[in-house]
Structure 1
Amino acid sequence: MPYKVHGRDESSVIVVRWIEEGRWRMSDELAHNVRKYRRAAGWSHEELAHRAGLSVGPVRRIEQGHDGVRMETLHAIARALDVTTSTLMVSGTPEPVAHDNPNGMHLRDLRIALTPAVGLGSVSAPVGDEPDLVRLRRTTHDKAVLYFEDSYRSLAADLPSLIRGTNDAVAYFDDGEERVDALTVRSETLRLVGNWLVQIRQFDLAHTAIRQAIDDARTAGDDLTAASGVGAMCWLLMRTDRFDEAEEIAVASMDVVEPKIKGATANRYSTWGGLAMEAAAAAARNNRPGEAREMRKAAGTAAKAVGVSHRNVLRHWSRFGPVTAAMKELEDSMIVGDARTVVRHSGEREELQAKAWKRLGKPSSNDGNRYHLDLARAQVRTGDPSAAMEELVRLDRLAPEWFRHQSSAAITFEEVVRKRRTLTTEMREVGAHLGVFA
């Protein structure tokens, strides 16, 4: 499904298309850009490939305008050419949406609740009983639990009515503390909805939900809840490869919620540290390693201040501490293609050992699952496809709904298959769940 990505660098607006299996559809402009920077460096195809740590085939295919190159290949080429990844991606013409898009009908009720029709007539406030803000907050909490348990199907059916309920509350209470509470509850609800929509790759709807969540929290005067919404926006921007903007808004928001006094709350340190991790992730993906390192240091400082994994899922959506910071740091190594560091640190760093979690606290299931998926990718790329497959099988059993939405899981599975002569029944089941096998 095509969508627009409005990223910024010195000279261009990016309009790109994400293919489900995690690859870019190439454009003439992208081919032209890679060719232009390669020639400006005075390099042949072979020399660019060597400096990027690639075979020459992918470089030639990109310059010939072929589809199907992976994003990590573009990261590697950008690093070799000493430009940001965003610089390699320029405007192209979006392709038409497929007529058989299955999510169109499935999301109809949610779309109506999230993006109501607007006309010129006046809209009256809801009549009837006073909205129960305590019940709405409790319901949002219950749905958040389902989200973090990866129970997406159980979650989805109730979201439209929950959105309508919070909309009615905001319309009913027009001033005072109840108005603030209603805005905060709706912000929490929309943040949940936005996260779920990002997981299922409904990025435009997710942007609508998350932006409104941030606006509601700011109107309510709750900077931590607003900053938490910014963290969700950063994740969405990175999923749509708007790296410049993700880093920019994360750093700007860090300035607003910085723990400037001794004895700041764990919530503030966690929110600030979470934004630092988002900024680092965006910078690493955009070939800005120096900025990524600085942000990782900031996240590490916040993690030490927190001491153990801190969780406030409903209000600030944070589960942050030394374990989370260590897991996210290894993502950078995977992004730059340093699979050996990922494998080595997974066995050496104390924060990554399950036996240390009694003292440091566990990561969230989502962060833990993503770490193990990175580890699987690193294992297959360092010559251990069996260990990688064990990780994939475990993730498929542990979090099947989450797992089937991960394009990197399908890519890793394909890499494992290429290194195996035969496939077991268990492997074929994993492949079928990922959509690799019919």
Structure 2
Amino acid sequence: MSTGLADNVRKLRRAAGLSQEGLAEAADLSLSTVRKAEQGGHVSMGSLAAFARALGVPTSALFASEAPKSVVGKEDEANRRHLAALRQALMPPVGLSVPLSEPGEAEEPAAVRRRVQDGHALYQADHYDSVARRLPGLLRDSEVAVAALEGEEREHALVARAHALLLAGKYLTQVRQYDMAYFALAEAIRLARETGRTQLAATGVVGLGWLLLRQDRFDESEQLAAQTAEEVEPRMSEATADQLAVWGELWLRVAAAARRNGREDVAEHARRMAGTAGGALEREHTAFPSHWSAFGPVTAEAKAVEDLALAGDARGVLRKAGEGPLSTKAEKNAGRLSPNNWGRHRLDVARAHVLLGSHQDAMDELVNLRQTGGVWLTHQPMAGRVMSDILKTRKRTLTKEMRSMANHLGITD
């Protein structure tokens, strides 16, 4: 945690007239967590949200602007080199006249969109290396098509490029390359708006809301998603499944941001609105490319369980994870979560098991996730936190399975 954030916790605690012990009691956290926070140590987002609730401020009020810590090292250098081709295709040099490279032959917009669909299928299957290799050519070819075509064909090319940029933004957010992701998503939204594709632009906003959430920009994520949800709200009697799905996802973004920011009333309202959209759909809906992820009653319920996880209600998480839309019995009628949402939900379950001291149950969840999405798992900080807690709290000798998982997640102590 940053020293600025630590200073803010201390300053707000004193302004509230609380001792460290008093803040610990009000936030229902340990005294050691309060001390760790005020000494600049790392504490979870859940703990920060608990501090904010106890202090009567939004979580964002704890954050501070300061110079970032140096991250120069082998990993940073490797990431820079691995993404060099993608960075060049996404953000080429801009001068006063002609581009530095000569354009190639324009590809049909329909062919570009088929390549986007293939890339999205690879992304959903966690083949991130394959996605990274395909994106540079896809972005360059989509740009060439826009420059070379005219009239109606050019408009189709603009839409195809927006899809390519959405794929780039989604991938880059997943692998935590946030500045590049923002550039891709913002440009995708601009092109979708320019061509009058409101549904596509709203899909881009769903992605941008996720990016802002990952950057702890809770106020902006909530406001952007709420405003867009109001602008695209469909008439329930006439709404298509695609419209309901995107509208519901926007409300999920509002709820997630508000919940992390300590705005419980806003989060509750947003969850109800998402539940309304999910109920209208009756089952999970996926229709790429008109809708880029799955949404329905199961997704809405899984995200409500995430609220319980953020509040530290481990028993509530385990209870809800096995009933209603999330039960095995309901799968036939309501459908299944998308792979990413399923993985995130099961990480909440794993975390709940750790909090209740059921280490083997937590390990079983991690092992299952590794088997179905091993690469995805390495990009999830929650997985690392769960494994670290197992290592810290387990009193007996670690099993071979635990050592293997720690190595897979890059945890050395």
2:143 matched to which residue of 1?
167
CA positional deviation for 1:418: 2.4
Any conservation in 2 of the 1:31–1:62 contact (CA below 8 Å)? yes
Question: Do the aligned residues in 2 keep the contact of 1:274 with 1:318 (CA within 8 Å)?
Answer: no
Q: Residue 432 of structure 1: CA displacement?
A: 0.4
1:77 paired residue number: 51
3-state SS of 1:138 partner: helix
Instruction: Return the offset for 1:209.
Output: 0.8
Following the alignment from structure 2 to structure 1, what is the Cα–Cα distance between the partners of residues 389 and 307? 20
Question: For the residues of structure 2 that align with 1:221 and 1:277, how far apart are their CA atoms?
Answer: 24
The alpha-carbon distance between structure 1 residues 278 and 429, as it changes in their structure 2 partners (threshold 3 A), is same
Is the Cα contact below 8 Å between 2:347 and 2:365 reproduced in 1?
yes
Match among 92, 97, 121 for residue 97 of structure 2: 121
Q: Structure 1 residue 311: deviation in Å? A: 0.4
Q: Offset of 1:126 from its aligned partner?
A: 7.0
Task: Indicate the SS of the match to 2:286.
Answer: strand
Q: 1:124 to 1:152 in 2, by over 3 A?
A: closer
Matched, 1:236 2:175: no
Counterpart among 128, 131, 144 of residue 152 in structure 1: 128
1:21 maps to none
Q: Distance in 1 between matches of 2:104 and 2:409?
A: 47
- How far 1:127 moved relative to its partner? 6.2
- Unaligned runs of 5+ residues in structure 1 are 1-24
Q: How big is each residue's C-alpha offset from its partner over 1:173-232, in whole Å with a ceiling of 9 and x where there is no partner? A: 2432x2221111111111111111111111111111111111111111111110010010
Q: CA deviation at 1:117?
A: 0.1
User: Alignment partner of 1:436: what SS?
Assistant: coil
Deviations 1:122-148 (A, max 9, x none): 459976644211211111101100101
Residue 195 (structure 1) aligned to one of 156, 167, 170? 170
CA contact (8 A) 1:126 1:171 kept: no
Question: Is 2:137 the partner of 1:137?
Answer: no
Deviations 1:311-355 (A, max 9, x none): 0222321311111110011111111222221111112x2211123
8 Å CA contact 2:58–2:263 kept in 1: the answer is yes
User: Which range moves more in the overlay, 122-131 or 383-392?
Assistant: 122-131
CA distance in 2, matches of 1:125, 1:201: 29
Measure the CA separation in 2 of the matches of 1:345 and 1:123.
56
Matched residue, 1:108: 84
- Hey, what's the Cα distance between the residues in 2 that align with 1:125 and 1:343? 56
How many residues are treated as equivalent by the alignment? 410
Q: Give the alignment partner of residue 393 of structure 1, picking from 360, 367, 375.
A: 367
Structure 2 residue aligned with 1:37:
12
Give the one of 332, 352, 358 matched to 1:358.
332
TM-score by length of structure 2 reads: 0.96
Displacement of 1:363 in angstroms is: 1.2
Residues 334 and 378 in structure 1, CA contact (< 8 A), matched pair in contact too: yes
Alignment of 1:35-434 (within 5 A): 35-64=10-39, 66-100=40-74, 101=76, 102-123=78-99, 129-176=105-152, 178-260=153-235, 262-347=237-322, 349-420=323-394, 421-434=396-409
Q: Secondary structure at the match of 1:311?
A: strand
| Structure 1 pair 305–50 and aligned structure 2 pair: CA distance change class (3 A) | same
CA–CA distance in structure 2, aligned partners of residues 26 and 67 of structure 1: 8
Q: Distance in 1 between matches of 2:163 and 2:267?
A: 29
Contact 1:266 1:310 in 2 (8 A): yes
Counterparts of 1:2-41 in structure 2, within 5 Å, are 25-27=1-3, 29-41=4-16
**Structure 2 residue identity aligned to 1:266:** A
Amino acid at match of 2:97: G
| Residue equivalent to 1:12 | none
**After TM superposition, where is structure 1 displaced by more than 3 Å over at least 4 residues in a row?**
122-130
Post-superposition shift, 1:99?
A: 4.1
TM-score for both structures, normalised by structure 1: 0.90
Give, in whole Å, the separation in 2 of the partners of 1:334 and 1:36.
Answer: 28
CA distance in 2, matches of 1:77, 1:125: 53
Structure-1 separation of matches of 2:379 and 2:81: 19
Hey, what's the Cα distance between the residues in 2 that align with 1:97 and 1:383? 34
Q: CA deviation at 1:97?
A: 3.9
d(CA) in 1 for partners of 2:226, 2:388:
36
Distance 2:17 2:210 in 1: 36
Structure 2, unmatched stretches of 5+, are: none
**8 Å contact kept, 1:126–1:172:** no
Instruction: Please list the CA deviations of residues 74-122 of structure 1 after superposition, one character each: whole Å capped at 9, or x if unmatched.
Output: 1111111111110011211223340431200000000000001001114
The Cα shift of 1:431 comes to 0.7
In the alignment, is the contact (CA less than 8 A) between 1:125 and 1:172 conserved in 2?
Answer: no
Determine helix, strand or coil for the equivalent of 1:80: helix
Residue aligning to 1:7: none
1:222-251 CA deviation, whole Å, 9 max, x = no partner? 111100100100111111100000000000
Instruction: Give distance in 2, aligned partners of 1:175 and 1:256.
Output: 29
Q: Secondary structure at the match of 1:96?
A: coil
Report the identity percentage.
Answer: 44
Cα distance in structure 1, aligned partners of 2:196 and 2:104: 28
RMSD: 1.7
Structure 1 residues 233 and 220, CA gap change in structure 2 (3 angstroms): same
Offset at residue 41 of structure 1 (A): 1.9
User: Do the aligned partners of 1:410 and 1:436 also contact (CA within 8 Å) in 2?
Assistant: yes
Cα distance in 1 for partners of 2:259, 2:285 equals 25
